[in-house]
Amino acid sequence: MLKEDQEFQETENIDETEKVSEEVSKSAEATEEGDDSVEEETEVSDREPTVEERAADAESKYKEMQDRYLRLNAEFDNYKKRMMRENSDRLKYFNMELIKELLPSVDNLERAISHAGDENSDLENMIEGLQMVYKGMQEAFGKFGVSEIESIGKEFDPNCHQAVGMINSQEVPENHVAEECLKGYYLHDRIIRPTMVRVSGKG
């Protein structure tokens, strides 16, 4: 009886050993299959893209760049239109401020003309009114960079003087401006019109 139990125990041990061997074998096979799968994935990720894939990628990038170009072009076109509109308005109304400054002088001139027709008006008041108009216009011009060209007693300069004749003068040196016929003006550093003058010369 003891011998039979011993043989039965040995048989069970052999069966368990075989089971363990089978499990180890299956585990090894699974590991090998996993390694093969990883190698296949690595091969797929490392492989060169096909011509079709490269063409599709290039087409996608081209469409993206084209869309970006169209958006930028539309934005630039809108910017140009806005700038043209602003420049047009600026040119159209650029002298509005100057006109505003001159309007009070125009009003004073109208009053002076109106009072000149009154029976009770006198010459002195009319002259005073005209002087106020002149002063107001000079102040308005000054705000916009307009200034007179100084001429009397200055050496004749063809850049800013226009000679309309000569005059003998003991007080003014030769080739200097002795008389001013029509005032000239600067706009900042540019000449709007030259001063018309008579120049001193030898008698």
List, for residues 83-98, the tens digit of each pLDDT value: 999 888 888 888 888 8
Question: Domains in the chain: how many in total?
Answer: 2
13 in a structural domain: no
- 135 and 94 in a single domain? The answer is yes
Residues in contact with 156: Cβ distance below 8 Å, sequence separation at least 6, in sequence order: 163, 175, 176, 177, 197, 199
Domain termination site, one of 99, 124, 144: 144
Token pair in block for residue 143: 């705000």
Residue 85: φ, ψ to 5°: -65, -45
Say what the pLDDT of residue 69 is: 92
Stretches in the chain below the pLDDT threshold 50: 1-6, 8, 38-39, 44
- CA dihedral 68→69→73→75, nearest 10 degrees, is 10
User: 143: part of which helix (H) or strand (E)?
Assistant: helix 123-143
Token pair in block for residue 78: 């809108």
Domain termination site, one of 97, 113, 144: 144
Q: Name the pTM for this structure.
A: 0.54
d(CA 23, CA 30): 10
Residue 155: φ, ψ to 5°: -65, 140
> What is the end-to-end Cα distance of the chain in Å, rounded?
170
Residue 120: φ, ψ to 5°: -90, 0
193 in a structural domain: yes
18 in a structural domain: no
SS3 state of residue 182: strand
- 140 and 151 in a single domain? The answer is no
190 in a structural domain: yes
d(CA 70, CA 58): 18
166-to-170, 179, 196, 197 alpha-carbon distances in Å: 13, 9, 12, 9
151 in a structural domain: yes
Say what the pLDDT of residue 91 is: 81
Domain termination site, one of 106, 124, 144: 144
Domain range for residue 130? 81-144
- 138 and 154 in a single domain? The answer is no
- 183 and 196 in a single domain? The answer is yes
For the domain that residue 182 is a member of, what is the CATH number?
A: 2.30.22.10
Residue 201: φ, ψ to 5°: -150, 180
- 123 and 136 in a single domain? The answer is yes
